């Protein structure tokens, strides 16, 4: 047998799987807290309070909009209502693909030649 089958000498428990998945999905470090001393916002209208863009800092891995496939696809659905028909068609196509694949793969014929 292949040595790849014996990666683990014991079965993985549920606690070990939860720990592995949580460590894998956690980011390297969280975004640091804001500075202790904040400059007061000017009273003039139209001022925007700027913050540091942490995704350009290699030490931190924050989640920003569009950094995961789910956020990229579904992040701005409230503003992009014209995407709904495309998502619906993609969902229908995927369901049809699964049904057709299942029905085609479940039809296995075994012929026994008794001659």
Dump pLDDT digits (tens) for 40-52: 777 777 766 666 6
What's the pLDDT score for residue 83?
83
CA 72 from chain centre, in angstroms, equals 9
How crowded is residue 61: how many other Cβ atoms within 10 Å of its Cβ? 16
Please compute the mean of the pLDDT values over residues 93-106 and round it to a whole number: 93
Instruction: Give CA separation, 20 vs 17, 30, 88, in Å.
Output: 5, 19, 34
Higher-confidence residue of 63 and 3: namely: 63
What's the pLDDT score for residue 2?
45
- Read off the pTM: 0.37
Q: Is 75 exposed, middle or buried (0-12, 13-18, 19+ CB in 10 A)?
A: middle
Provide the phi-psi class of 105: left if phi over 0, else alpha when psi is between -120 and 50, else beta: alpha
* Mean pLDDT, rounded, of the chain: 74
Please compute the mean of the pLDDT values over residues 11-36 and round it to a whole number: 71
């Amino acid at each position: 047998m292949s040595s790849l089958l014996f990666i683990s000498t014991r079965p993985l428990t549920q606690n070990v799987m939860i720990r592995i998945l949580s460590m894998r999905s956690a980011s390297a470090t969280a975004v640091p807290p804001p500075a202790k001393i904040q400059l007061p916002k000017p009273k003039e209208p139209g001022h925007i309070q700027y913050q540091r863009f942490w995704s350009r800092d290699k030490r931190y891995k924050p989640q920003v909009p569009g950094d995961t496939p789910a956020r990229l696809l579904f992040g701005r659905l409230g503003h992009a209502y014209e995407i709904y028909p495309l998502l619906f068609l993609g969902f229908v196509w995927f369901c049809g693909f699964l049904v057709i694949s299942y029905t085609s793969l479940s039809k296995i014929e075994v012929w026994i030649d008794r001659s």
